[in-house]
Structure 1
Amino acid sequence: MKAVVFAYHNVGVRCLKVLLARGVDIALVVTHEDNPQETIWFESVSSLCRQHGIASIAPNDPAAPELLAQVAALQPDFIFSFYYRHMLPATLLALARHGAYNMHGSLLPKYRGRVPINWAVLHGETETGATLHEMAAKPDAGAIVAQTSVPILPDDTAYEVFGKVVVAAEQTLWRVLPAMLAGNIPRLPNNLAQGSYFGGRKPEDGKIDWNRPAQEVYNLYRAVAPPYPGAWTIVKERTFIVGKACLSAKLMENLPANLPRGLAVVDNRIVGVCGDGRTLLINELLADGQTVTPEALKNILL
């Protein structure tokens, strides 16, 4: 069986390795050039292709006529998309004899759309996963082929959950691929009315509103904690990013009452006071890429 694969990021690398291990002929990989404005903390699809002698390209537009012609000439049995960042046009999807399939980082139909793991953590979900599904004109709307769930623990950051979802994606594809190659492709309902759709997030979306309850602020921190851009706040025209934090009632028992909302220093510890009177213990606070000590913050707050 021959496949054309659109892939990027860790999920792209791991799922490509599954295809190779299952004996799939990968005729072409379409990936992205790394953005110099982005922190690249993940594995390289391009590097994997070089290691295995797989042809790879990184066009700007997956709808370009020349790409359509190139894929058509390869006559693929399957088209796969593994964390490729662009929607693929229906004319391209139709070129695969046995269909086109995408690996999405949620338990569809929940959290269709962009950055699903970050949104799931932000909303305090206790579970997410990876779903392989047919690609359709609408994003993440085709029939479900297979999915695997993973837990989101109370203190997990989106980065930690992403690591679990990478493994879930690998497991999902590994289990269902033999049936797909044999022509027995499961097609389960993807009821969009029971799900949700979310768009992308920008660094400015990480601004902390200290008037919100502590759990919401903590979920924001977890959803965008480094290596993502981080949850941030401004004090006296300086921007501070919460690098590490925890929410623990026991640690906060002896704090003074009526602390003002926002950053504070109590007993040589940095805390963030929220709208419900509860606080985050901030174990690492950053400004201009450097760690801010409790003493330094105290002087800034004076």
Structure 2
Amino acid sequence: MKVSMKAPQKVKPTVILFGYHDMGYAGLSALIKSGYNVVSVFTHKDSNNENVFFKSVTDLADKHKIPVFRPEDVNEPSWVIKINDLSPDYIITLSYRHYLSNEIVKAAKFGAYNVHASLLPAHRGRSHLNWSIIKGDEESGITLHEINNIPDAGPIYAQTKVSISNDDTAHTLHRKITELASTLLPVWFTELYEGNLTGLDQDESQASSYGLRRPEDGHIDWRSNANDIRNLVRALSFPWPGAFTDSEGKKLIIWKCNVLPSEQSFIPGTVISIAPLRVACGKDILEIDDFSLTKCPEPGYSRKITGSDIIVGMILR
């Protein structure tokens, strides 16, 4: 058991934020509201290969005249020196895509902490929101933990749950968690520098980590049961790249679907009907409500389907 180290109250505690995406934005907003002196922000450049649907940490930092840095490798020696020269009271990370070296973590006088969008020790690592839905979890949440030499494995100082409904997608879950973070983080960060939080070691027997997901990991295996495929679809639905299959050489992306129980036997991937579009799975049938084909980047193509696109008896692969 550890108690958060109390910062001197004569002046605002200084902090360096390492953050990106909506969680990074929520974290920076919370630090400002909580009375921290944010001496610098480390974030990432937006990628042309990524759907940037989220708020900009850089824009918020610029609004408050906070210096912003976007290094390719934050652990490069010159950046380590710069961070140590800033000598922050705290380091806070949220959705930052590089793990910090021990040399950086030790630069924080009163500790380095991460806000992770899962109920640690479950779903350590990357793509945790997607994995929560893929695995059929009924709850997720946010966790404030100390940073140590094992990613996402440090003592937990605060944690709150949020339910996952059967209709949630990664995007709706992302919004739930971001809204929760916007409410809780100002309270947590205030409690942190007042020394009112106690850290508890994680239960390693309950730890899980499934790794970073890439767009190609969304390829549907029709031998799976329909409910597992539906979970994959929910986990990767827009604005993520989508779960997909091959339809006679075209990439068919499924955005929304439902499960129909069935005792009938078909080759997995067989198109059973067109209107509605139904496909046989290893168990049960998937009824597809919304999909798109190659060069149709967003949901809605199913409302424009023509008879030549997909035919009964076709096998999706």
Please state which band the TM-score falls in when normalised by the shorter chain: over 0.9
- Paired residue for 1:10? 22
2:290 aligned to which of 274, 284, 288? 284
Alignment of 1:5-84 (within 5 A): 5-84=17-96
Deviation of 1:257 (Å): 4.5
Cα–Cα, structure 1 residues 268 and 79, in superposed 2: closer, same or farther, change >3 Å? same
C-alpha separation in 1, matches of 2:294 and 2:51 = 15
Contact 1:230 1:242 survives alignment (8 Å): yes
Q: Deviations over 1:134-182 (max 9, x none)?
A: 0011100110010111001012111111111112333342222222121
- The higher-RCO structure (CA 8 Å, 6+ apart) is 2
Give the drift of 1:215.
0.8
Q: Which of 200, 203, 208 does residue 191 from structure 1 map onto?
A: 203
What is the DSSP-based 3-state SS (H/G/I as helix, E as strand, rest coil) of the residue aligned with 1:262? Answer: coil
CA distance in 1, matches of 2:134, 2:311: 32
Identify the residue that residue 212 of structure 1 maps to in structure 2: 224
Superposed CA RMSD: 1.9
Aligned to 1:179: 191
* Structure 1 stretch displaced more, 80-89 or 167-176: 167-176
Change (3 A) 1:248 1:153: farther
CA distance in 2, matches of 1:259, 1:200: 33
Which secondary structure state, in structure 2, belongs to the residue aligned with residue 80 of structure 1? Answer: strand
Question: TM-score, structure 1 length as denominator?
Answer: 0.92
Question: Of the candidates 94, 116, 128, which is equivalent to residue 140 of structure 2?
Answer: 128
Q: Give the direction of change, closer, same or farther, for the CA distance of 1:78–1:240 in structure 2 (3 Å limit).
A: same
TM-score by length of 2: 0.88
Q: 1:142 aligns with which of 154, 176, 185?
A: 154
With over 3 angstroms needed to count, the CA separation of the structure-2 counterparts of 1:95 and 1:237, relative to structure 1, is same
Flag as ranges the 4+ runs of structure 1 deviating above 4 A: 256-260, 299-302
Write the letter of the residue equivalent to 2:197.
Answer: I
1:287 maps to amino acid: L
Q: 1:110 aligns with which of 100, 122, 128?
A: 122
How far apart, CA to CA, are the structure 1 residues paired with 2:312 and 2:74? 49
Q: Counterpart of 1:202?
A: 214
Deviation at 1:259, TM superposition (A): 4.8
**Is 1:262 paired with 2:269?**
yes
Task: After superposition, give the CA deviation of every residue in 1:18-46 in whole Å (9 maximum; x if it has no partner).
Answer: 11111110000000001111111111111
Q: 2:97 aligned to 85, 99, 111, which one?
A: 85
Question: Do the aligned partners of 2:230 and 2:259 also contact (CA within 8 Å) in 1?
Answer: yes
Percent pairwise identity: 33
Separation in 1, partners of 2:295, 2:204: 42
Equivalent of residue 274 in structure 1, options 267, 273, 281 = 281
Instruction: Give the structure 1 partner of residue 239 of structure 2.
Output: 227
Distance 1:50 1:163 in 2: 24
| Inter-partner Cα distance in structure 2 for 1:29 and 1:132 | 19
Q: Distance in 2 between matches of 1:165 and 1:25?
A: 25
* Contact preservation (8 Å) 1:263, 1:270: no
C-alpha contact 2:247 2:310 (8 A) present in aligned 1? no
Distance in 1 separating the partners of 2:310 and 2:85? 66
**Cα distance between partner residues in 2 of 1:153 and 1:294:** 33
CA contact (8 A) 1:81 1:101 kept: yes
SS in structure 2 opposite 1:145? strand
Instruction: Figure out how many residues of one structure are paired with residues of the other and give that number.
Output: 296
Cα 1:300–1:55 change in 2 (3 A) is farther
Deviations 1:227-261 (A, max 9, x none): 11111111212111002222355xxx8xx954543
Which runs of no fewer than 5 residues in structure 1 stay unpaired?
Answer: none
The alpha carbon displacement at 1:221 in A equals: 0.7
